[in-house]
Structure 1
């Protein structure tokens, strides 16, 4: 039960911090640069001055030039780029679960968790939702968060002392 509480605390803190950092950094998503290049908006920054209905209409217009599979994801995420919430989430899961599995001699499970995380991070780049620096910043943030949250039991930590 303590491990679940620790994971829950890590996830809640990472979600709150991610939300704050997105508003603080105001880093446009990479796809907004593509929208500007297509002439649908004057600049990536302009996209964020529009209301959600106008943002969605512009994204739908881009579906003629960009994969509809990508634009479908764009419609669901019109906030800022940095940091990547998906990457923070998977990084917390990797640090928590891969460490737990590795310490209990389950290297295959640890590897599967890491493979899943790489897949999620790669998809964020491919979809045009994030830049590499968004992902690396998210990983660094998750690592710092993981190090400062008290461990339920040091033998369950990937980075045990």
Structure 2
């Protein structure tokens, strides 16, 4: 197996440690308390939530180009591959969500606590879902940012689009930046991705299996994108002494 593929698969194993640990611990999300560390996790989620996700994407594209310092044509091809990888993940996510139609944890909780039928909830248009969430939570002492986030994120859960976005970038960094010595950047991007994954669980937006599936899809996309980058972008050739590290 090529060294690049081994690195990406190792990165996948690192990313799935969190959801696997949550599943093994039998932890279940409950909106009973809002500790101080929940707000930083919310801001991590916001780095992926639109419209901030577009800014994050642009920053990471620029970061990759700055590190790799390739010529104009390879740089344009690399931008195309990075954008295509992220868009492909989001497209696959949308198709699976509509087919599986798994409710979010907070929606299941609303059904249990407020007699809001999950089936009826998802039969409503998105604007009416948001209005229903606002109505049901009006008497609860929820942080405004959490209430607003729930009102905005009323779609299905499986798989996690936020995780797919962040995990794809982390695995692309492992495949493209790590062998070229930019390991601090890889560690920072991977840590950010793990934080985004944790935020999706802590905010009641996803189940552990949502994160696992998203990471698996991201791994397949990253393997293909990095393989193409090595062949299409001549400026990305790995030095011989690093090709098998």
> What is the TM-score with the length of structure 2 in the denominator?
0.59
Give the number of the structure whose alpha-carbon radius of gyration is greater: 2
Give the Cα–Cα distance (whole angstroms) in 2 for the partners of residues 153 and 53 of structure 1: 44
State which of 102, 112, 116 in structure 2 corresponds to 1:41: 116
State which of 186, 197, 202 in structure 2 corresponds to 1:126: 202
Please give the secondary structure, in 1, of the residue aligned with 2:145: helix
Superimposed CA distance per residue, residues 49-88 of structure 1 (whole angstroms, 9 cap, x where no aligned partner): 1233431222112253344332211111111101111111
Q: Which residue of 1 aligns with 2:216?
A: 140
Unaligned runs of 5+ in 2: 1-74, 232-236, 239-243
Contact kept? 1:91, 1:139, Cα under 8 Å: yes
Note if 1:151 corresponds to 2:228: yes
Q: Per chain length, whose mean CA-contact separation is higher, i.e. which structure has more relative contact order (CA < 8 Å, sep 6+)?
A: 2
Q: Decide whether aligned partners of structure 1 residues 119 and 63 sit closer, same or farther in structure 2, where only a CA change above 3 A counts.
A: farther
Contact kept? 1:59, 1:75, Cα under 8 Å: yes
Superimposed CA distance per residue, residues 32-62 of structure 1 (whole angstroms, 9 cap, x where no aligned partner): 11111222413x2221012334312221122
Give the Cα–Cα distance (whole angstroms) in 2 for the partners of residues 7 and 54 of structure 1: 35
Give the Cα–Cα distance (whole angstroms) in 2 for the partners of residues 3 and 102 of structure 1: 16
Contact kept? 2:157, 2:206, Cα under 8 Å: yes
Unaligned runs of 5+ in 1: none
Superimposed CA distance per residue, residues 124-146 of structure 1 (whole angstroms, 9 cap, x where no aligned partner): 11111101100011000111222
Q: Spell out the pairing of 1:6-155 with structure 2 (5 A cutoff).
A: 6-42=81-117, 44-60=118-134, 61-65=136-140, 66-149=142-225, 150-153=227-230
Give the Cα–Cα distance (whole angstroms) in 2 for the partners of residues 64 and 121 of structure 1: 29
Contact kept? 1:99, 1:110, Cα under 8 Å: no
Which segment drifts farther, 67-76 or 78-87? 67-76
Please give the secondary structure, in 2, of the residue aligned with 1:151: helix
